[in-house]
Amino acid sequence: MIKSIYILFILIVGVSANEKNNNEIFTKKICTQCHNFDIVLDQKGDTYFWNKIIESMYGNGLQKLNGKEKNKIINFLSQKNKNEIEQKFRRKPLQY
Ligand code: HEC
């Protein structure tokens, strides 16, 4: 029983790590056609922010992405600094 929970845990962690990795590789492939990846990674934002950026890249000549492709990119980019961003927008702890 314990053993099967353990195996399940490894599987779940493995699958989600893999998905993150795939999204990263895909983002890199699409977003390094015109500039390096650093100018992308330097920016921090939520899904709304990255959606806007992708829309603006169409104006620079980015090939039209389908919904699934766009989601992969937005998922990776909005997750990469998630903790930092949440900290920034979180109000100060209440003082008692
Ligand atoms: C067809 C070419 C092209 C593709 C593909 C492309 N970009 Fe860009 N990107 C540009 C150009 C041109 C600039 C403007 C560079 C500048 O002004 O210095 C830019 C600038 C940027 C900037 C910097 C904006 C700023 O003001 O600091 C970000 C962030 C960015 N791109 C993200 C992305 C992301 C994310 C992708 C992948 C979805 C992507 N780009 C794909 C052409 C492209």
pTM attached to this predicted model: 0.82
Find out whether the beta carbon of 74 lies less than 6 Å from any atom of ligand 1: no
* 55 lies in some domain: yes
Residue with CA closest to ligand 1 atom 37: 31
* 64 lies in some domain: yes
Distance 38 CA to ligand 1 centre (A): 11
Per-residue pLDDT band for 9 (boundaries 50, 70, 90) equals confident
Residue with CA closest to ligand 1 atom 34: 31
Range of the domain at 62: 44-85
Distance 19 CA to ligand 1 centre (A): 24
Q: Is 34 exposed, middle or buried (0-12, 13-18, 19+ CB in 10 A)?
A: exposed
- pLDDT tens for each residue of 15-38: 778 887 899 999 999 999 999 999
- pLDDT tens for each residue of 56-91: 999 999 999 999 999 999 999 999 988 787 777 777
List, in sequence order, the alpha helices (H) in the chain.
2-31, 38-41, 47-60, 67-79, 82-89
* 4 lies in some domain: no
* 65 lies in some domain: yes
